[in-house]
Structure 1
Amino acid sequence: MNAKYGSILMLLLASSTLLNAQKSKSYDLKSPDGNISLHLEAADKLQWSVMHKGQSIIIPSAISLQLESGEVLGDKARIVSAPMQKANATIQAINYKKTSIPDQYNQLTLNCKGDYGVIFRVYNDAVAYRFFTRRKGELVIKAEEAMINFTDDHKAFIPIQWDYRGGQNFNSSFEALYHEIKLSQFPKDSLAFLPLLVDVGQNKKVVLLEADLEDYPGMYVDLNQTGKGFKGVYAPYPLEAQLGGSGGMNLIPSKRADYIAKTTGTRSFPWRALAISEQDKDLLNNDIVQKLAAPSRIADVSWIEAGQAAWDWWSSRTISHVDFKAGNNTQTYKYYIDFAAANHVKYIVIDAGWSDRMDLLKINPALNLQEIVDYGKLKNVGVVIWAYWYAVSQGMDKAFPVYAKMGVKGFKIDFIDRDDQVVVKSLYDIAKLAADNKLLVDYHGAFKPTGLQRTYPNVIGYEGVKGLENFKWANEDQPRYTVSIPFIRMMAGPMDYTSGAFRNVNQANFRPINNLPMAKGTRCNQLAQFVVFEAPFQMLSDNPTTYIKEQECTDFMTKIPATFDETVALDGKVAEYVALARRKGDTWFVGAMTNWTPRELTLDFSFLPSGNYEAEVFKDGLNADRDGTDYKKEVLTISSGAKVPVQLSGGGGWVARIKKVN
């Protein structure tokens, strides 16, 4: 090649590079307080990155939606407009940990050629984005690209899917302890579900979440090719399914499509969110999922009441000192109602066995459900009944009106165990029909909440957590887990952990028992969970006989509300300990818990308005390390601003009910 042609070629290459560079567009968006910076690059790929106070949190990470046609929304995006807006509003919350939520953010919307776009929001404690489309007809989503690239091989708390229902991937109870591992140690051929937490250094934690998940599959993550980040993975759309799995009552897809969703062409897709904290305790009072959720679709919410529920399943209806045979029968549930009424508990739950598993209208002849419900009305105690998701999905059109007319207050719906598009849509459909019939819903055996509880506030419970039921069969480090989930799983919303076990033991004395199960840790740890854990439908897991024998603790436990007007995070470290305060009316409740490490905390009561207060306190007894049931009750005088030392036994707790005296 001679010099003349070489120069021409170099000029053409330079012009091409310049042309490509001109096609790339970048955008920047900051949080209202200026601490979080979001940077976007729109070129061949649409990539986002995040900084917090100058520290790089997320390095360029690609996002896109691939359609069945082959079109990729986000690749080579041609930006038509990029308007910015600010929001500073207040959300009035229903059955939540606070009554009002400040909703302040800055937003950038990329409107792209092709009738689609992406919305980005930056809050003072979180970053989120979502795709939207404005097209006619139907869209088939082949795949979604959601990369989250971190700067280093950080330590993380990751719930790895393990209990494959029916032996199939994407079928799970969504219950797992956290793998506390480096990102690069993510197990091969595994998936993790959200939320999960990453320690990004400088005391900062990042929690990955999704919100407003409607008519779309939930997001799992796998390690991406960088070895220092995640990629989104989604259950393919189910084409055929068969009963199988746990007890033969899971609906297990036997054939899946090569796409993840078939949906309307004009819609918004789920939010992908990162919550960022400088102190672990800040995660205890983060509202990002509530902020991103769709507003309530129920005009009249006056009939929706949160509350505690006496529950039969955990202790296998094992009651004693009664003149009838305990079991799945009318006398047993009247006894539960009597207990609930005497202790001002709003509900009882009738768990599995009251009806045919497949046909909700076939009631077990051993009990008279109408008589039980009517007896509950006389005692001002509502009755909630359990059902398999499959039976509900097949029979709710007939069953919901029947049981609503009977006076049943709601359904606890179990063994959902999937989060593909079909199931996610089903949970919205169930919530809507239940609301139409003024029925409450508690989703058990379900994936994590993503805001449905705001959109349909009659959904007052969610499992998606490795709850107390596991003590019936597993010997695991639950005390560490119970001081991990408030910073991770509870970020997504309420969790039906089913607290309240009164057979409390240390690790050496624990053994799995089915009918009268034990719980690891102390009595005061269990009591503190009623304050720490967010649960608008709060189960009392143990049986009435046990609670009556321990009336002093029962009286305290049943005075703790299921929802609150205000929450204040006091102290905490992920997997180590947690302490927070919640207010209902003019009464404050404070709960603190630790893992197996005994420790002393100093709680700062500056959150109290000025004045003097009386605190009814339950704390670990001096011998709680040997006998978990050992506790001490005392009454303290506390003034606003007081610094109170709190001693926690291994697996222990401390809990207080505080009223102003002058």
Structure 2
Amino acid sequence: MKKSILLLSAALLGCAPLVRAQDYHLSAPDGKTTVDIRAKGSLQLSVQHNGSAVVPGLRLAMELGDGTALNGESKVRKTQKQSVKETIQAPVAIKNSSISNEYNELRVQYRDHYAITFRVYNDAVAYRFETDFPDSITVKNETCDLQVPAGSEAFFQWADLAFNSYEHLYDKAPLDSLTASRNTQLPLLLNAPGGQKILFTESDLRDYPGLYFTGQGGQTLHGVFPPAVKTERKNDPSDGGWDRNFYPGSTYDYIARTAGKRSFPWRIIALADNDARLLNNEIVYKLGAPSRLQDVSWIKPGQVAWDWWNHWNVTGVDFRAGVNTDTYKYYIDFAARHRIPYIIMDEGWYKLGNILERTPDVDMKAITDYGRQKGVGVILWCVWRTLDEQMEPAMQLFAQWGVKGVKVDFMNRDDQAVVNFYWRCAEAAARHHMLVDFHGAHKPAGILRTYPNVINFEGVAGLENDKWTDKLATPQMAVTLPYIRMFAGPMDYTPGAMRNAQQRDFAAINDNPMSLGTRCQQLAMYVVFDAPLQMLADNPTAYENEKESLDFITRVPTTWDQTIPLDGKVGEYVAMARRKGNTYFIGAMTNWTARDITLDLSFLPAGNHRMVLFRDGVNADRNGTDYKREERSVTRNDKLTVHLAPGGGWAARIE
């Protein structure tokens, strides 16, 4: 990673042993966002954006197990203020290859072994605690209580603190719906009455539990955390999920036991004047700790042919399809023909509970050798706890086979112990030059910058849900995710269904699944959804029968030089342009409401450009597979009127 850093100013505001001023003011580089900080007596801040109080009050504190309170009662020893303007060159360019990182910062250092750092960006405010105790500490609790403007509404995802897959519907409701009996996960997006968008999340989450919010039915969000786990319920191998679902049994009365000298997770308040501005905000990545990897040349993003969603349901072959060597060689042949760099071998290749023991029909060395000959890498699925218990021998075995990465599943918790697993896994995989795709995972929270081999996260109600329900992976969800879940980082939604249905025709069929919405919505997902490791969820036979769609999909990059939000409204529609080199892509999607939108092509360079587009067919409102492929010449002066069918989409490649 190359960075160019320009420190605009670095001024000590108080070098004397004590600083008398207890209230501080900090502004964004563009001056539109300001923060007032009360650092003595009761730690509080307020945030104003364009003259409006978007966060009237935020109370912060940390309580340690020995009774020590980090709450501003201590003496302020010194303060430091600096302005930073730098460019981050991302080794895995999720949205943009060059990321502008400009902010003003205030660090308030207290006499009693702690400090708080505040940063103000043009589109976000962030703060974090830092401690400097000589020994380890117990964090009993952290206070993060936010007041928001009266009349705000939120997009809640109700969640269980103890066991949470992060795969929930969004419930758009008044803020007072958040009561003491409910918890909502992050990211949390609010619509303020003045039209501002306020999004809360976190970054640099390590050796600490994830943050949630609960409430009292008013205008205050109360931060809560999963407690540290003492024991887990005993798993019975005769029960389903015995190798993967580890529910907490008893817990401690604290949230973390950790090093005394450390920095804690960043708490983030992101701001946007309209919905579309949320689509290109990279504050979570910017606040992640810098990469720990010296050599990142081996990290290769790309697309991957996936087996599990389509249930290995290939046809027209002379072997019995399933979890066996012949089937995976078939997937490798398909991937090689269409320049897809990876295949995934999902559940079934090893004996559950023991990664080191393969199932009888799988010759792993033969499969990986065949993939190497064809230029296709193999990524292996596994359950997190089994991998954790066998980490080093498993990684050594994978390296011996030539495996390129792991898809690690079913963590379903973000208490301190399980958060630490993410970091152990990322580090071990990096040592063996392997990619990591976390499934059954919490939201991304900065680790993608620190370990860029962590190339994707699930933590989303993705296409797999269409195998068993029509309630989750819907067009409504598809045009909500980019503004909220995708704000935190990339998401393994696993698009690519070639059987597409409107609501009245949809049926949840596990072994031969379909998607809700149109074919063109599936194509548009490859442009709109961030996913450096991007799945092709359907089976090779289905794609070979739909060559036009397959050709478009396999030409879409999985990393980008530039992201250009065009238009959108949370839960209604989204339109986005992307650039890779000299090629541009556009994706647009709608919920179940048909609509016409206008795409302004002024982002294009001067001159004539060839566009290949896919639009919903005239009968797509009846048959989700109906589409039209067209070619035309366009310039940057064009404005295109695009019709989206119910659950529809529109996608284009411009060269």
TM-score of the aligned structures, taking structure 1 as reference length: 0.94
| Residues in 2 aligned to 1:242 and 1:545: alpha-carbon distance in whole angstroms | 43
Change (3 A) 1:243 1:309: farther
Check the 8 A contact 2:470/2:516 in 1, yes or no. Answer: no
Which residue is equivalent to 1:239?
230
Counterpart selection for 1:228 from 219, 224, 243: 219
Partner residue of 2:265 out of 262, 270, 282:
270
Alignment-derived partner of residue 479 in structure 2: 483
Aligned partners of 2:441 and 2:459 also within 8 Å: yes
> Aligned equivalents of 2:284 and 2:491: distance in 1?
14
Please tell me whether residue 566 in structure 1 is matched to residue 557 in structure 2: no
Q: Give, in whole Å, the separation in 2 of the partners of 1:371 and 1:506.
A: 42
Partners of 1:46 and 1:77 within 8 A in 2: no
Whether the aligned pair in 2 keeps the contact of 1:243 and 1:250 (CA below 8 Å) is no
Structure 1 residues 246 and 112: CA distance shift in structure 2, 3 A? farther
Match of 1:417 among 389, 412, 416: 412
* Partner Cα distance (1:324, 1:246) in 2: 30
Residue 382 in structure 1 maps to residue 380 in structure 2: no
8 Å CA contact 2:162, 2:247 repeated in 1: no
Q: Give the 5 Å matches for 1:164-243.
A: 169-186=161-178, 188-223=180-215, 225=216, 227-242=218-233
Alignment deviations for residues 606-638 of structure 1 (CA, whole Å, 9 cap, x no partner): 111111100100010000000000000000111
Q: What is aligned with 1:551?
A: 547
Contact 1:153-1:227 within 8 A present in 2 as well: no
Separation of aligned partners in 1, 2:74 and 2:275: 38
- Report what 2:147 is aligned to: 149
1:297 aligns with 292
CA distance in 1, matches of 2:20, 2:436: 50
Indicate conservation of the 8 Å contact 2:179/2:217, yes or no: no
**Equivalences for 1:117-136 in 2 at 5 Å?**
117-136=115-134
1:371 pairs with one of 357, 366, 373: 366
In structure 1, the residue corresponding to 2:495 is in which secondary structure? Answer: coil
Distance 2:221 2:115 in 1: 23
Per the TM alignment, residue 243 of structure 1 is displaced from its structure 2 partner at its CA by 5.2
Q: Deviations over 1:326-374 (max 9, x none)?
A: 1110011011111111111110000001001211100111110110101
Find the aligned partners of 1:148 and 1:501 in 2 and give their Cα distance: 41
Tell me the CA shift for residue 23 of structure 1: 8.0
- Cα deviation, residue 89, structure 1: 0.4
Contact 2:590/2:644 (<8 A) preserved: yes
Give the Å deviation of 1:75.
3.9
- What is the CA-CA distance between 1:241 and the residue it aligns to? 2.1
Task: Give deviations 1:640-660, integer Å, cap 9, x for gaps.
Answer: 13111111111100000000x
Q: Is 1:607 aligned to 2:598, yes or no? A: no
Whole-Å Cα distance in 2 between the matches of residues 77 and 466 of structure 1? 45
The question of whether the paired residues in 2 share the 8 Å contact of 1:23 and 1:43 is answered with no
Could you tell me how far apart the structure 2 residues matched to 1:247 and 1:639 are? 55
Q: Deviations over 1:297-343 (max 9, x none)?
A: 11111110001110011111111111111111001101111111111
- Structure 1: distance between partners of 2:403 and 2:482: 32
Shift of 1:188: 5.0
The residue that corresponds to 2:85 in the other structure is 88
Residues 519 and 625 of structure 2 are in contact (CA less than 8 Å); yes or no, is this contact kept in structure 1?
yes
Q: Is the 8 A contact 1:26 1:42 kept in 2?
A: yes
Match of 2:247 among 244, 252, 255: 252
CA deviation map 1:500-549 (0-9, x unaligned): 01110001111211001111100000000000000011011111111111
Distance 1:68 1:193 in 2: 25
1:122-172 C-alpha deviation (Å, 9 max, x unpaired): 0000000000011101010000000111121311101111xx6xxxx4111
The whole-number CA distance in structure 1 between the counterparts of 2:637 and 2:88 is 29
Partner SS for 1:501: coil
CA distance in 2, matches of 1:566, 1:107: 27
Q: Residue type matched to 1:65 in 2?
A: M
When structure 1 is superposed on structure 2, of 475-484 and 242-251 the one drifting more is 242-251
Distance across 2 between alignment mates of 1:125 and 1:288 = 8
CA 1:243/1:430 → structure 2, altered by over 3 Å: closer, same or farther?
Answer: farther
1:426-465 to structure 2, matched below 5 A, reads: 426-465=421-460
**Match in the other structure for 1:618:** 614
Instruction: Specify the code of the residue in structure 2 equivalent to 1:26.
Output: D
Contact 2:589 2:650 in 1 (8 A): yes
Instruction: Name the CA distance, whole Å, in 2 between partners of 1:638 and 1:78.
Output: 64
DSSP 3-state at the match of 1:494: coil
Partner of 2:8: none
Instruction: Give the Cα–Cα distance (whole angstroms) in 1 for the partners of residues 341 and 198 of structure 2.
Output: 37
Question: Counterpart of 1:4?
Answer: none
Q: Which residue of 1 aligns with 2:507?
A: 511
**1:607–1:641 contact (8 Å) kept in structure 2:** no
Query: Structure 2 CA distance, aligned partners of 1:426 and 1:441?
Result: 13
Worse overlay, 582-591 or 186-195:
186-195
Q: Partner amino acid for 2:337? A: A
**What amino acid does structure 2 have at the position aligned with 1:112?**
Y
Distance 1:642 1:486 in 2: 26
Provide the rounded CA distance (Å) in 2 between the counterparts of 1:648 and 1:576.
Answer: 12
CA contact (8 A) 1:45 1:77 kept: no
Equivalent position of 1:494 in the other structure: 490
Aligned to 1:3: none
The equivalent residue for 2:7 is none
- Is the aligned partner of 1:73 residue 2:70? yes
Gaps of 5+ in 2: 1-18
Distance in 2 of aligned mates of 1:629 and 1:313: 22
Partner of 1:175: helix, strand, or coil? coil
- For residue 136 of structure 2, the aligned residue among 135, 138, 141 is 138
Amino acid at match of 2:621: D
Q: Kindly tell me: are residues 474 and 226 of structure 1, through their superposed partners in 2, closer, same or farther at Cα, counting changes over 3 Å? A: closer
Q: How far 1:61 sits from its partner (Å)? A: 1.8
Give unpaired runs (5+ residues) of structure 1: 1-21
SS at match of 2:165: coil
Q: Which residue of 1 aligns with 2:638?
A: 642
Name the SS for the 1:60 alignment partner: strand
CA distance in 1, matches of 2:199, 2:479: 16
Instruction: Quote the Cα distance in structure 2 between the aligned partners of 1:332 and 1:243.
Output: 36
* Structure 1 residue 187: Cα displacement: 5.3
Cα separation, 1, equivalents of 2:526 and 2:27: 37
Aligned 8 A contact 1:143 1:259 in 2? yes
Q: Give the whole-Å Cα distance in 1 for the aligned partners of 2:651 and 2:195.
A: 27
1:99 matched residue in structure 2: 97
Q: Give yes or no for contact 1:310–1:541 (8 Å, CA) kept in 2.
A: yes
After TM superposition, list the pairs within 5 Å mapping 1:20-35 onto structure 2: 25-35=22-32
Separation in 2, partners of 1:653, 1:114? 57
TM superposition shift of 1:253:
2.0
Distance, in Å, in 2 between the alignment partners of 1:64 and 1:297 is 30
Please, what is the CA RMSD of the aligned residues? 1.3
Q: Which of 102-111 and 640-649 deviates more?
A: 640-649
Distance (whole Å) between structure 1 residues aligned to residue 234 and residue 319 of structure 2? 37
Give CA deviations for 1:590-618 in whole Å, capped at 9, x if unaligned.
10000011111111111111111001000
Aligned twin of 2:324? 329
Deviation at 1:201, TM superposition (A): 2.5
How many residues are aligned here? Answer: 631
More helix, by proportion = 1
Query: Quick one: distance in 2 between partners of 1:575 and 1:216?
Result: 32
C-alpha distance in 1, partners of 2:331/2:98? 35
TM value normalised by structure 2: 0.95
CA distance in 2: counterparts of 1:474 and 1:348, whole angstroms:
26
507 and 193 in structure 1: CA distance in 2 versus 1, 3 angstrom threshold: same
Identity in percent: 47
Q: What is the deviation of 1:24?
A: 7.8
Q: Answer yes or no: is the 8 Å Cα contact 1:328–1:353 preserved in 2.
A: yes
